[in-house]
Amino acid sequence: MCGIVGYVGARPALDVVLAGLKRLEYRGYDSAGVAVLADGGLATARKAGKLLNLEKELAERPLSTGPTGIGHTRWATHGAPTDTNAHPHLDNAGRVAVVHNGIIENFACLRAELAERGHELSSETDTEVVAHLLAEEFSSCADLAEAMRLVCRRLEGAFTLVAVHADEPDVVVGARRNSPLVVGVGDGEAFLASDVAAFIAHTRSAIELGQDQVVELRRGGVLVTGFDGRPADVRSYHVDWDASMAEKGGYDYFMLKEIAEQPKAVADTLLGRIDASGSLTLDEVRIGASELREMDKVVIVACGTAFHAGLIAKYAIEHWTRIPCEVELASEFRYRDPILDPRTLVIAISQSGETMDTLMALRHAREQGSKVLAICNTNGSTIPRESDAVLYTHAGPEVAVASTKAFLTQLVACYLVALYLGQVRGTKWGDEIQAVVRELSRSSQDVERVLDTMEPVRALARSLAHKGTVLFLGRHVGYPVALEGALKLKELAYMHAEGFAAGELKHGPIALIEEDLPVVVVVPSPRGRSVLHDKIVSNIQEIRARGARTIVIAEEGDETVVPYADHLIRIPATPTLLQPLVATVPLQVFACELATARGNEVDQPRNLAKSVTVE
């Protein structure tokens, strides 16, 4: 979750680190801090609250700076978000500075050991013990990288650590276990960060760090070893987006920009997936067709918004392939002893590729012999690296905490996987697949059309800013869309919002309906499976008879719903299974505008962080 930046080179380190932290603040904004090597020692500043508070502190009390430094923006785990608990943490002598992402599970016993040896720890964090342990090991070996290796072998849990030492002023050392850390390599300079966004303005050359590895950054190069000290193989890659894509570009919020980028993101995710004959060619899916034909069950694991994408994927996979499909919350998956074997295909969905619950679920699946296919937006991240195959979405950087374009591109990727399984298993004819692909290819234009008609949705959202509750109803693939709409409102507006399967209304939830309660209803197409449409129109009548204010999302040309809609939001006509690509967009705009009207921080909602890298 937390954001980490490290730099060594010729530039003023403080400037580089602060700029990197601005790009990573979406990962946590409870506190922020920096440490730079200058004048033979360490200069540090830490401040609770958002990065702006730290910048004000530095404006009032400037730090000396040199060419080496580290920084941190925090999502609190151990200890409240206070100045004292903010990173970096130092040893008693003030010669070592450490920043940390993750949780050190055995910190309590390590802290007790340190206290017995006379160390004085001032914070409530698990991180501070690492600074003291590094100081002890460095006193013996005088090598920060070796000290890091020795300390890491004693730590339990998931962590990324980055450290500097006043006695090695031209070195930054990092370590990772089950938590993201990426290296940027420039001309006479090197970077460490939780995300490439931190250094994309300076270099697009990156190096993946593997599990249980330590990296030494110097101006002359980068050295990667395992925790055991042996040299490690590394993989370099080129980042395929630039700094401008991580800027607001004139929008008030990153979320608004990312909503507007969805037509391009959808089109980019489809690019190059279809060959000249019209067949799907998913080159990244490195599981052979013969193996896929042997699969007799699909299990999807994901969290949050990605889980809702998985729920929609279930409908497509079962309809197009006739393979049974289960969708599991990754945080619950391995604790219920799931039934897995080599004939089970597990699909792990994660925007960041670092979601800890999903990562642990896929590891459990691989231990049981199952093949794992990752759907991910981040090249070089852990989940794709540990999976048997990957399908990358091409959404570009998503900075706002509430996911928008990542969700739509996850849907596209899920549809592609479902069609590909249908293709290799022979459950869909080539012309059938081509027809769906044509509809998918048109979806970016359909999303663009929806975005062009959103002003009434914004006005409606502003008019409901005083409400305490909004309910969402849907059937079939509209049900996960309802869940996603409710989640967006919870995340951004801090409102009570719930999504229900519309058919479940009479089994309890209809008791919630009262006069003027806003209820958003996602209406399926009257074409195709018309029974779905007829049933939900009946549901709208039931809630309207009890005084609800009905907000109806229905496709163009559907006149049946008009008499029962207090507010009607039109979307382009699409096949039933693909409707979530267009039906979700008004709900994103609705939540963003309602949160703005309530005076909330849209990009950085309270208590949340973009990438959940702890369990």
Of 39-53, 232-246, 353-367, 517-531, which gets the smallest average pLDDT? 232-246
What is the per-residue pLDDT across 302-324, written as a single tens digit (0 to 9) for each? Answer: 999 999 999 999 999 999 999 99
pLDDT of residue 312: 98
Residue found by looking up tokens 């298993």 in the block: 425
Position 533: which residue type?
Answer: H
**Adjacent-strand bridge partners of 68:** 8
Domain boundaries, the chain: 3-244, 254-445, 455-597
Beta bridge partners of 225: 214, 231
Quick: pLDDT tens for 161-193. Answer: 999 999 999 999 999 998 889 999 999 999 999
DSSP-based three-state secondary structure for 257: helix
Q: How far apart are CA 491 and CA 595, in angstroms?
A: 9
pLDDT-derived band at 558 (thresholds 50, 70, 90) equals: very high
| Residue 83: exposure state from Cβ atoms within 10 A (0-12, 13-18, ≥19) | middle
The DSSP call for residue 525 is: P
- pLDDT of 26 higher than 90: no
- Spatial separation of the C-alpha atoms in residues 583 and 575, rounded to whole Å: 12
Q: 571, 561 in Cβ contact below 8 A? A: no
Q: Over 70: is that where the pLDDT of 404 sits?
A: yes
| 605 prior amide bond cis, ω within 30 | no
Residues 41, 96: contact at Cβ < 8 Å? Answer: no
Residues in CB range of 144: below 8 A, 6 or more apart: 134, 138, 163, 164, 165, 168, 171, 173, 216
Q: Where are the beta strands (DSSP E) in 106-155?
A: none
Model confidence band, residue 39 (pLDDT cutoffs 50, 70, 90): confident
3-state secondary structure 163-184: EEECCEEEEEEEEEECCCCEEE
Question: Got the DSSP string for 549-584?
Answer: EEEEEEETT--TTGGG-SEEEEE----GGGTHHHHH
Q: Are 101 and 194 in contact (CB under 8 A)?
A: yes
| HEC sequence for 456-506 | HHHHHHHHCCCCCEEEEEECCCHHHHHHHHHHHHHHHHCCEEEEEEHHHHH
Provide the pLDDT for residue 615: 61
**Range with top average pLDDT, 198-207, 331-340, 458-467:** 458-467
Identify which of 348, 415, 352, 417 has the alpha carbon closest to the alpha carbon of residue 379: 352
Please give the torsion angle defined by the CA atoms of residues 379, 380, 384 and 386, in that order, rounded to the nearest 10 degrees: 180
CATH architecture, range 254-445: 3-Layer(aba) Sandwich (3.40)
Cα–Cα distance, 34 to 16 (Å, whole number): 11
What span, in angstroms and rounded, lies between the C-alpha atoms of 495 and 501?
A: 20
H helix or E strand, kind and range, residue 591? helix 580-597
Spatial contact of 613 and 1, defined as CB atoms under 8 Å apart: yes
Which of the listed ranges 179-183, 250-254, 339-343 does the model predict with the highest average pLDDT?
339-343
Q: What is the pLDDT confidence band of residue 613, given thresholds at 50, 70 and 90?
A: low
The more confident residue out of 115 and 103 is 115
Which residues are annotated as catalytic? 2, 610
Higher pLDDT, 75 or 408: 408
Q: With beta carbons less than 8 A apart as the criterion, state whether 614 and 356 touch.
A: yes
**Architecture, CATH, for domain 455-597:** 3-Layer(aba) Sandwich (3.40)
Mean pLDDT, rounded, of the chain: 93
How confident is the model over 189-206, as pLDDT tens digits?
999 998 888 999 999 999
Give pLDDT, residue 158: 84
Q: Running DSSP on this structure, what letter comes out for residue 91?
A: -
> So what's the pLDDT on residue 129?
96
394, pLDDT greater than 80 = yes
Backbone φ and ψ of 464, nearest 5°:
-105, 10
Buried/exposed code over 43-82 (b: 16+ C-beta within 10 A; e: otherwise): bbbbbbbbbebbbebbeeeebebbbbbbbbbbbbbbbeeb
Do 3-244 and 254-445 have matching folds?
Answer: no
Which residues have a Cβ under 8 Å from the Cβ of 513 and sit 6 or more positions away?
471, 519, 543, 546, 547, 548
pLDDT surpasses 70 at 100? yes
**Quick one: pLDDT band at residue 234, thresholds 50, 70, 90?**
confident
pLDDT at 1: 67
What does residue 413 show for φ and ψ, rounded to 5 degrees? -65, -40
Task: Answer whether residue 276 shows pLDDT above 80.
Answer: no
Euclidean distance between CA atoms 446 and 571, whole angstroms? 8
Sequence-separated (6 or more) residues with CB below 8 Å from residue 328: 299, 300, 301, 338, 361
Pick the CATH number of 3-244 from 3.10.100.10, 3.40.50.10310, 3.60.20.10, 3.40.1410.10: 3.60.20.10
Which pLDDT score, from 0 to 100, does residue 239 have? 84
